[in-house]
Amino acid sequence: MLTANEAGRIPSLGSYVRGKDIESGRWVYELSSRAVLDDSFASLTLKRRLEAGKVRLDEVPEGTVVGRVAVAEQETIVDALAAAAEATKIWRAVPLSTRFDGWMELMRKTVLEHEDELVGLLTLEGHPLELARWEISGMQELSRKESADFLRGQLWQEFEIDGRRRNIVRRQADGVVCISPPANAPLVSALLGTMSIPGGNAIVVRAPRTAPFGTQALRNLIAPILDELGAPPGVLNIVCGHPGPMLDTWIDSPHVNDIMFFGDVPLGLKVERRCVEAGKKPILELAGNDVVLVWKDADLDGAAAALAEAFYGSGQLCMVPNQAVVHPAVADELIARVVEKAQALRPGYPDEAGTLLSPVLRFDKFNRFLSEAVEGGATLVTGGHGMQLDGTRDSAGFFLEPTVLRVDGLRDARRLDVVKHETFFPLLPIVVPRPPTTRASSTASSTSSTRTSTDCATPCGPRTRR
What pLDDT does 9 receive? 66
Indicate if the pLDDT at residue 350 is higher than 80: yes
Alpha-carbon span 131 to 102, nearest angstrom: 29
Indicate if the pLDDT at residue 202 is higher than 70: yes
Beta bridge partners of 449: 441, 464
Indicate if the pLDDT at residue 456 is higher than 50: no
Residue pLDDT, tens place only, 281-331: 999 998 888 899 999 999 999 999 999 999 999 998 888 899 999 999 999
Alpha-carbon span 8 to 213, nearest angstrom: 17
Q: Quick one: average pLDDT of 433-437?
A: 81
Residue pLDDT, tens place only, 15-67: 999 999 999 989 999 898 888 888 888 888 999 999 898 988 888 988 889 88
Q: Quick one: average pLDDT of 454-463?
A: 37
What pLDDT does 1 receive? 36
Beta bridge partners of 380: 405
Q: Which percentage of the chain shows pLDDT scores above 90?
A: 62
What pLDDT does 8 receive? 53
Alpha-carbon span 392 to 237, nearest angstrom: 44
Q: Could you tell me the pLDDT band of residue 447, with boundaries at 50, 70 and 90?
A: very low
What pLDDT does 140 receive? 87
DSSP letter (8 states) at residue 461:
P
Indicate if the pLDDT at residue 10 is higher than 60: yes
Three-class SS string for 152-185?
Answer: HHHHEEEEEECCCEEEEEECCCCCEEEEECCCCC
Whether the Cβ atoms of residue 137 and residue 122 lie closer than 8 Å to each other: no
Whether the Cβ atoms of residue 386 and residue 395 lie closer than 8 Å to each other: yes
What pLDDT does 162 receive? 80
Indicate if the pLDDT at residue 387 is higher than 80: yes
Nearest to 429 by CA among 335, 347, 302, 356: 335
Q: Which residue has the higher pLDDT, 411 or 452?
A: 411
What pLDDT does 287 receive? 83
Please report, in angstroms and rounded to a whole number, the separation of the first and last CA atoms in the chain: 84
- 264-270 long-range Cβ contacts below 8 angstroms, 24+ apart: none
Q: Could you tell me the pLDDT band of residue 406, with boundaries at 50, 70 and 90?
A: very high
Q: Quick one: average pLDDT of 117-131?
A: 88
Alpha-carbon span 113 to 372, nearest angstrom: 48
CATH: 3.40.50.300, 3.40.50.2000, 2.170.150.20, 3.40.309.10. Which one for 291-432?
3.40.309.10
Indicate if the pLDDT at residue 432 is higher than 70: yes
Q: Could you tell me the pLDDT band of residue 438, with boundaries at 50, 70 and 90?
A: very low
**Lowest mean pLDDT: which of 90-99, 152-161, 452-461?**
452-461
Whether the Cβ atoms of residue 57 and residue 5 lie closer than 8 Å to each other: yes
Please check whether the domain covering 11-19+71-156+171-285 is classified as CATH 3.40.50.150. Answer: no
Whether the Cβ atoms of residue 15 and residue 240 lie closer than 8 Å to each other: yes
Where do the domains of the chain lie?
A: 11-19+71-156+171-285, 291-432
What pLDDT does 43 receive? 87
Indicate if the pLDDT at residue 5 is higher than 60: no
Whether the Cβ atoms of residue 440 and residue 453 lie closer than 8 Å to each other: no
Query: Is 230 strand, coil or helix?
Result: coil
Report the largest interatomic distance among the alpha carbons of the chain, rounded to a whole angstrom: 97
Residues 6+ apart with CB under 8 A from 331: 406, 430, 432
Q: Which residue has the higher pLDDT, 197 or 4?
A: 197
Indicate if the pLDDT at residue 379 is higher than 50: yes
Whether the Cβ atoms of residue 430 and residue 335 lie closer than 8 Å to each other: yes
Alpha-carbon span 203 to 189, nearest angstrom: 13
What pLDDT does 437 receive? 66
Indicate if the pLDDT at residue 355 is higher than 60: yes
Q: Which residue has the higher pLDDT, 269 or 464?
A: 269
Alpha-carbon span 301 to 288, nearest angstrom: 25
Alpha-carbon span 67 to 240, nearest angstrom: 14
Q: State the alpha helices, DSSP H only, in 92-143.
A: 96, 103-113, 115-124, 129-142
Query: Is 208 strand, coil or helix?
Result: coil
Q: Could you tell me the pLDDT band of residue 81, with boundaries at 50, 70 and 90?
A: very high
What pLDDT does 362 receive? 84
Whether the Cβ atoms of residue 6 and residue 65 lie closer than 8 Å to each other: no
Measured torsion, CA atoms of residues 42, 43, 46, 51, in degrees rounded to the nearest 10: -150
Indicate if the pLDDT at residue 95 is higher than 70: yes
Burial of 276 (0-12, 13-18, 19+ CB in 10 A): exposed
What pLDDT does 448 receive? 35
Q: Quick one: average pLDDT of 412-421?
A: 93
Q: Which percentage of the chain shows pLDDT scores above 70?
A: 92
Predicted TM-score (pTM) of the model is 0.84
Q: Quick one: average pLDDT of 175-200?
A: 93
- What is the sign, positive or negative, of the torsion defined by CA atoms of 35, 36, 37, 39? positive
Residues 6+ apart with CB under 8 A from 366: 360, 400, 423, 425, 427
Q: Quick one: average pLDDT of 260-289?
A: 93
Q: Which residue has the higher pLDDT, 84 or 361?
A: 84
Mean pLDDT rounded to a whole number for the chain: 88
